Amino acid sequence: MPERLLASEPAAAGRSIPAGASGARVPLGYEILALPLGAPREGAPVSSARGTLILKSALRDSLLAAGIAEPESMAAGPHVVGWLEGGRARHALIRWQEEEWVLKSYRRGGIVGRWNSQRYWGSERFLKELHVAARAQEAGVPTAEVLALVLEAAGLRSTRAWLLTRFLAGAKPLADCGGLPDELQIFRAAGETVRRMHLAGIDHHDLHLGNIVITREPRGPRVHIMDWDLARVRSEGSWSPFANLVRLWRSLEKGGKLGEIRLRPWSVPAFARGYFAGRPAALRKARAYFRRRALLLRVRSWFWRSSR
């Protein structure tokens, strides 16, 4: 509830603001609220907070009224109208007035996730995802707008986290676009969107066909990039965007072998035309990178076969 919030620090124009003692900063357009341990007390210090809420300043009142300060209750409340499958957990689809949002609870995977699925030590990864999503929007990369991030203390200096984003109605993964009448147009648009992301300095470590989704607009398909959890903003010259394309190609190859993805022969070239249009130097660099990468993959394959 809004009255339970202890402190607010609105984002000032032209700069970002600190998020806690670690010195991390939140993007412009967001503000920080401290979540208290119990009933509010006049003059209570922020140190008594049970966690931190970072939300869009323009939607502050609406988000608080919808219950984002209590994400677990929000995910079990009357405004949940459905569930979306999302990797390790289902995400709650929430309808509030004229808005539809998706509430994601961060979950661990792998061996650690078997005994500790929700607790994380440190909050940097969540703040980085928020920053990358904001950078993408600023650069004109279509994505699901991040509305709020909730960080809650979970004991032993650990943190649980939730992310609230806008729902993209009718979104279809790129993997499911094979056989559509405008398949080639979709893949070219996908190449253009990934190019825009890379020109913004965003390195998306988990770029696969499921994290590129398509919505329909009167002027044609619109391509969105999703799931910035493993993405980072890089300085120029410190990384190769072609590594993302290799990851994307691997997901395409895997889906094709499993029979899950069936594309027209010209869909991949259409993606390449969208990505490299007007950039012949980038195309030459990519070809050299892929040749080196192909050799490395062959060496790795030989090594594993010979070591059995």
What pLDDT tens digit does each residue of the chain (308 aa) get?
Answer: 333 333 334 433 333 334 443 445 889 999 999 987 654 444 444 445 789 999 999 999 999 999 999 999 999 999 999 999 876 678 999 999 999 999 999 987 656 545 566 788 888 899 999 999 999 999 999 999 999 999 998 888 889 999 999 999 999 999 999 999 999 999 999 999 999 999 999 999 999 999 999 999 998 999 999 999 999 999 998 999 999 999 999 899 888 877 788 899 999 999 999 999 999 999 999 999 988 877 766 665 555 455 44
pLDDT score for 257: 76
pLDDT score for 17: 39
pTM of the model: 0.84
Partners of 92 in the beta sheet?
83, 103
pLDDT score for 292: 83
pLDDT score for 2: 35
pLDDT score for 303: 53
pLDDT score for 168: 97
Query: What structural domains does the chain harbor?
Result: 2-166 (no CATH), 172-306 (1.10.510.10)
pLDDT score for 48: 54
pLDDT score for 58: 96
Exposure string of 230-260, with b = 16+ CB inside 10 Å and e = fewer, is ebbeeeeeeebbbebbbebbebbeebeeeee
pLDDT score for 256: 81
User: Which segments of the chain are extended strands (E)?
Assistant: 8-9, 17-18, 25-26, 30-36, 49-56, 80-86, 89-96, 99-105, 120-121, 146-153, 158-166, 172-173, 202-204, 212-217, 220-225, 231-233
